Amino acid sequence: MAMQRTTGFANAKPWVPLMLLLLLVLVVAGCVRAADDEQMRRGAGGGGKMRRRAADVMVPITILNSAVDGGAVCMDGTPPAYHLDTGSGAGNRSWVVNLEGGGWCNNARTCRFRTGSRHGSSDHMERSIAFTGIMSAAPVDNPDFHSWNRVKIRYCDSASFAGDTYDEALGLHFRGQRIWEEAIEHLLAAGMASAEQVLLTGCSAGGLAAILHCDQLRTLLPDAATTVKCLADGGLFLDAVDVAGGRSLRSYYGDVVAMQGVAPNLPKTCTDHLDATSCFFPQNMIDGIKTPIFLLNAAYDAWQIEQSLAPNAADPSGAWRACKFNHSACNASQLQFLQGFRDQMVAAVRGFSESSSNGLFINSCFAHCQSELTATWNNAAGGSPALQNKGIAKSVGDWYFGRAEVKAIDCPYPCDNTCHHII
């Protein structure tokens, strides 16, 4: 006799219908969540007033297509962009404007290479990014600025938003200054024109950009009563002697300034007595900037150790290779050299620190950029490095709101046990 074929659930194992029902519930829930996420995304990124859930830390991109007509374009000619997370409650009329960092380029090869990345083309930028540290919307992570409008202007010009030229032979646009101006104009129209408080910030090349554009932002804001201050994180690049006795970073900066037409956009208080390359170094311009600035920097800046003090070209034998990537591998003479670099940094901010409106947090850590990482920004979130018993977020907040004067310079390495050594 042939075996009878059965269909349906009549002879199914008893747990099968239950599993199918559970699967159906999950699918329906997923669809509802997706629809809700799309509604939230449209409300936040499409000009609406709806605020995303606190747990949703991804902020969508805004492409500034209208900026192209004014020549404000990335290196490959694509439009610039920013990410905006709108404020809420008491923060509605306050703004954190963050200038993205990401190094520079100084010749045809390196600049062409960057057009294939987010640092040279908006085509390669992430369509949404996480806001953390000083950009976070979480009160526990970012107690003073979490409810503010927070915007990150993407970096795709390779001269700290300061160049303005076009290299016809290479087909490369160096329009950082125009990107800066167009982005700020767009933000003013989006509500920043009525801001009560603004903090311009950035880390690394973005930290340098925050210094370069600090006074410019003050003049672009229409209301003279608006409180404007600037935070430069990891942007105190020094014109230092490298391990071979040369000046690697000065040579590099000279190429960047010349290639990208930076000179006309540097602070006149510096270029009226120094050459343009010197005025791309913060140490030569900070004393002439009138808008209050807070300098957050590691005295043993990891990027500068690797790329300025001991770049491969200055260390052909590789004697510094282990030390520059692991401070515990440095010998006595290497540590002495690094202590000299710290001394130069402390000397560079001496005049700057005399202004009561300026702030300082220079810790003896091997790190580069500390304001945008949750673990280094706030004590509550991850044990921020501390000076004078205050972490970075508390120190910046005290300075911005005038709760206390902050002029904190750490003792030399290895005295600080609160450091997050990121090297």
Whether 24 shows a pLDDT value over 90: the answer reads no
Percent of the chain with pLDDT over 70: 86
- Give bridge partners of residue 229 from the DSSP assignment: 199
Instruction: Using pLDDT thresholds of 50, 70 and 90, give the confidence band for residue 140.
Output: very high
Whether 11 shows a pLDDT value over 60: the answer reads no
Per-residue pLDDT tens for 349-387? 999 999 999 999 999 999 999 999 988 998 665 589 999
> What's this model's pTM, rounded to 2 decimal places?
0.87
Active-site residue 278, yes or no?
Answer: no
Instruction: Using pLDDT thresholds of 50, 70 and 90, give the confidence band for residue 102.
Output: very high
410-418: average pLDDT:
95
How far from 258 is each of 101, 164, 264, 303, 411, CA to CA, in Å? 20, 11, 11, 23, 38
Dihedral (Cα; 386, 389, 394, 398), 10-degree rounding: -130
Among 45-54, 149-158, 271-280, which stretch is predicted with the lowest mean pLDDT? 45-54
Whether 388 shows a pLDDT value over 50: the answer reads yes
Active-site residue 301, yes or no?
Answer: yes
Q: Annotated catalytic residue: which of 301, 308, 327, 410?
A: 301
Q: What is the pLDDT of residue 383?
A: 81
Per-residue pLDDT tens for 170-190? 999 999 999 999 999 999 999
Q: What is the pLDDT of residue 17?
A: 41
Among 20-29, 246-255, 343-352, which stretch is predicted with the lowest mean pLDDT? 20-29
Cα–Cα distance measured from residue 382 to residue 167, given in angstroms and rounded to the nearest whole number = 45
Higher pLDDT, 118 or 37: 118
Per-residue pLDDT tens for 281-292? 999 999 999 999
Cα–Cα distance measured from residue 10 to residue 218, given in angstroms and rounded to the nearest whole number = 77
Higher pLDDT, 214 or 17: 214
Domains of the chain: 54-409 (3.40.50)
- Give bridge partners of residue 231 from the DSSP assignment: 201, 294
What residue type is 405 in one-letter code? E
Q: What is the pLDDT of residue 422?
A: 77
Closest to 100 (Cα-Cα) out of 61, 71, 53: 61
Q: Annotated catalytic residue: which of 204, 248, 308, 384?
A: 204
Cα–Cα distance measured from residue 279 to residue 120, given in angstroms and rounded to the nearest whole number = 24
- Give bridge partners of residue 99 from the DSSP assignment: 153, 202
Q: Do 81 and 60 meet the contact criterion of CB atoms below 8 Å apart?
A: no
Average pLDDT, the chain: 89
Instruction: Using pLDDT thresholds of 50, 70 and 90, give the confidence band for residue 145.
Output: very high
DSSP assignments along 177-232, one per residue:
HHHHHHHHHHHHHTTGGG-SEEEEEEETHHHHHHHHTHHHHHHHSS-TTSEEEEEE
